[in-house]
Structures are given as C-alpha cells and as structure tokens.
C-alpha cells in the first residue's frame, strides 16, 4: 500500500534538508543556493549533474522520483549563455527542489549530459528545450525537434532570435 502524501510543511523541511545533503556530499560541485518564495534552487557543476540527479533519486530519504519539468533559459550579456533548470519532486516527501546548471557556448555547442537515463520523462522535455533554446543534451537517445518543423532554422526562445523575421 502507498503511504498518504505528507503535508506541505514536511515537504519544505525535506527541501531544506536536501540542500544540506547535497552540500555535505558534493561540496565543490554545489556552486550556489537560493531560496525565493519558499522554493530551493541549487546551482551545481554541469559535469556532475547526472551523478547528483541519480543521488537525489536513489537516496531513500530524499527519493526525488519525479521529474516535473526541464526549462532552459538563454541569457545575453552574462558570462554564461544558458541556464538549465530541472524541477524535481519527491512523491513520498511532497518536496520540490530545483537543480540548475549554467552553460557557456553558442547554440549547438553548449551542452550538458542527458538525464534521460535517470527519469524517462526527460526524453521529451529535453527534446523540447533543444528545439526551442538550442541546448544540446549529450547522450540523449533521440535529440530531434519536437514542436517545430524538422527543417526549422534557429531556436526561437533564444533572446537574440529575430522575432520580426531573418534580416528584418
């Protein structure tokens, strides 16, 4: 039988504990941590992302078994070009945590390892972010466009995308 979902306060305690657990275990790979409106965001070293995700999912106390969403954001005039945010949820703890990586590089070369091996949901979510923003998810089983036509040029959710047409 499945245990009832714990309340919101429990979820928030686990979210806070998650940040501590990550700091304790991955030390240097945890680059930044922010709390805004009771949401925990942890910025991690991109090369350690998959390892961290796997830990968060497999650690019985934390059990982030549910990947809610992946969002890539393109930034202009910063020392990194992309942020990719992974929103994780633990069904048994009712807790959320957002894991973030910052990437440098042009579209097609900025890349991070896929987490499709950790959560099946990542398959389409990563394809979508590649399609819209142009972040490459290395090792993805099928990294093709998903919302835009196959022959589309460019990635519209980039901030420098020519919204009034190419050459306008």
Partner 1 sequence: MPYTTETIEPGTELLTVNMGPSHPSTHGVLRLILTLDGERVVRVEPVMGYLHRGMEKIAENKTYTQFIPYTDRLDYLAPLSNNVAFALAVEKLVGVRVPPRCEHIRVLVCELSRISAHLLWLGTHAVDLGAISVFMYTFREREVLYDFFEALTGTRLTTSYTRIGGLARDLPSGFLDAVGRWLDRFPKDLDEYETLLTKNKIWVERTQGIGVLKLADAIDLGVTGPNLRASGLEWDLRKAIPYSGYERFDFDVPVGTTGDVYDRYLVRIEEMRQSVKICRQVVKAMPGGPINVDDPKLVLPPKEKVLTNMEELIHQFIIVTEGFKAPKGEVYQAIEAPKGELGFYLVSEGEASPYRLKIRSPSFVNLQALPRIAVGALISDVVAIIASLDPVMGEVDR
> Other C-beta atoms within 10 Å of 21: how many?
16
Rounded to a whole number of angstroms, the minimum distance from the CB of residue 105 to partner 1 is 18
- Which residues here bind partner 1, judged by CB under 8 A? 2, 4-5, 8, 11, 36-37, 39, 41, 65-69, 71, 73, 85, 87, 91, 94, 96, 98, 119-121, 123-125, 128, 132, 145-149, 156-157, 159, 161, 163
The tokens describing 80, both together, are: 């990194």
What angle is formed at CA 167 by the lines to CA 164 and CA 168, rounded to 5 degrees? 40
DSSP reduced 3-state for 124: helix
- Do 121 and 67 meet the contact criterion of CB atoms below 8 Å apart? yes
Residue closer to partner 1 (CB basis): 30 or 129: 129
Residue closer to partner 1 (CB basis): 13 or 25: 13
Would strands 39-44 and 66-74 be described as parallel, antiparallel, or unpaired? unpaired
Rounded to a whole number of angstroms, the minimum distance from the CB of residue 112 to partner 1 is 17
Residue closer to partner 1 (CB basis): 38 or 47: 38
């Amino acid at each position: 039988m499945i245990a009832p979902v714990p309340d919101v306060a429990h979820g928030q305690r686990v979210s806070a504990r998650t940040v501590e657990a990550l700091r304790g275990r991955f030390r240097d790979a945890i680059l930044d941590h922010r709390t805004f409106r009771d949401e925990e965001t942890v910025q991690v070293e991109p090369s350690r992302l998959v390892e961290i995700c796997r830990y968060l999912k497999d650690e019985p106390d934390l059990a982030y078994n549910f990947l809610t969403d992946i969002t890539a954001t393109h930034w202009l005039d910063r020392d990194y070009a992309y942020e990719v945010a992974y929103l994780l949820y633990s069904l048994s703890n009712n807790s959320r945590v957002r894991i973030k990586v910052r990437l440098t590089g042009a579209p097609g070369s900025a890349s991070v390892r896929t987490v499709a091996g950790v959560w099946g949901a990542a398959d389409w979510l990563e394809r979508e972010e590649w399609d819209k923003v142009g972040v490459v998810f290395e090792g993805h089983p099928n990294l093709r466009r998903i919302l835009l036509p196959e022959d589309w040029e460019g990635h519209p959710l980039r901030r420098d995308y020519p919204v009034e047409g190419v050459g306008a």
